[in-house]
Amino acid sequence: MAELLRSLRDPQLVARFQRRCGLFPAPEDGAQESGAVPAEGAARAPEAEHRSAAQGKGVQGPANGRCRTAVPQTYIHKYIVKNYFYYYLFRFSATLGQEVFFLTFLPFTLWNIDPYLSRRLIIIWVLVMYIGQMTKDILKWPRPFSPPVVILEKRVVAEYGMPSTHAMAATAISFTSLLSTMDRYEYPFALGLTMAVVFSTLVCLSRLYTGMHTILDVVCGVLMTALFIALTYPAWTLIDHLDSASPLFPVCLIIVLFFLCYNYPVSEYYSPTRADTTTILAVGAGVTTGCWMNHFFQLVAKPPAPLPIIQNIPLLSADMLTLGLAKFTVGIAVVLLVRQLVQNLSLQVLYSWFQVVTRNKEARRRLEIEVPYKFVTYTSVAICATTFVPMLHRFLGLL
């Protein structure tokens, strides 16, 4: 078993997968490597710079969060693409597990498809992502070494690799959607299962293609999520009743989640993991609080129980598409405005409190500044998305 686990961590397996899919490192200084030489007339992908984090090096800083940027060993890493089908397929699939997807898919589901499904998706996503992010900074396993692996993403290269949170998020979103809709909507279960498997598989393979994870990282991410879903599925009905919890529930939830963010495992080097985790937990706190506010202040009409099974899902029409895009555009505009206003205000207050020079970007990485401003900003954004935006839709007649 130990030998199998070691083999699954081998970066050569990732490099071999990249080569099979037509992704090769470009020869350096005119030197040509065996198997990496482009064929005559082979297309070149846009050149990408890569800061190597193979040894786990990134931005160094002490445990108190006052981090200073350290200059790691760096080199230019160019790559050559011989198969553009796989290149665009996996680059697109990688975005399905990134922030841009969640910032569009989850609000769209909330405002246009099913707010109760969206709430369940968000809560499960938050729990799974917190487990994955925390596990990364506890295990501290590095990402695949480069070379031989070609690294296509730079932002998260300073993070640790085990487990793959992209794989966890994709598995959680796809199979939570399947399990939450199979008793509420009428559709072929085989079709839903196929879509869930295809979605999660594409995201998992994209993490190998982009060189961000080993096979073991991806497999463990999927298995951890599957185990989490299996253990928590019997309690999912409780999620539908969180909006009717005690009046003290939102206060307790916000305090607990903020405590988890502030006491996040300390890393030897600065990485965006803590900031991303704070954002995720803040979204969970905001969505849950917003749903609670909708119930206690009767801001949104609640459907009769039990929730009906829709016999025939209506086909997408031009009117439905126009209405959906209008609701999404209005909602995103409001959310982005609230995000900018709250972020600027919270940073100004924190800078003044801790006597930090305004616009000091390095100061944002300090624990006592990064966690509060991220948490306040995205809690406010999530509350706005679940309470104010639906009311604005009704006021504008976007129903």
Q: Which residues are catalytic?
A: 166, 213
How many Cα atoms are found within 13 Å in the side-chain-facing hemisphere of 45? 22
Cα–Cα nearest to 178, from 229, 133, 142: 229
Element (H or E) spanning 101, and its range? helix 99-108
Q: What is the CA radius of gyration of the chain?
A: 23
Torsion of CA 355, 361, 367, 368, to 10 degrees: 30
Q: How far is CA 128 from CA 176, 258, 313, in A?
A: 11, 17, 30
Query: What is the length of the chain?
Result: 399
Of the candidates 342, 330, 345, the one whose C-alpha atom is nearest the C-alpha of residue 399 is: 330
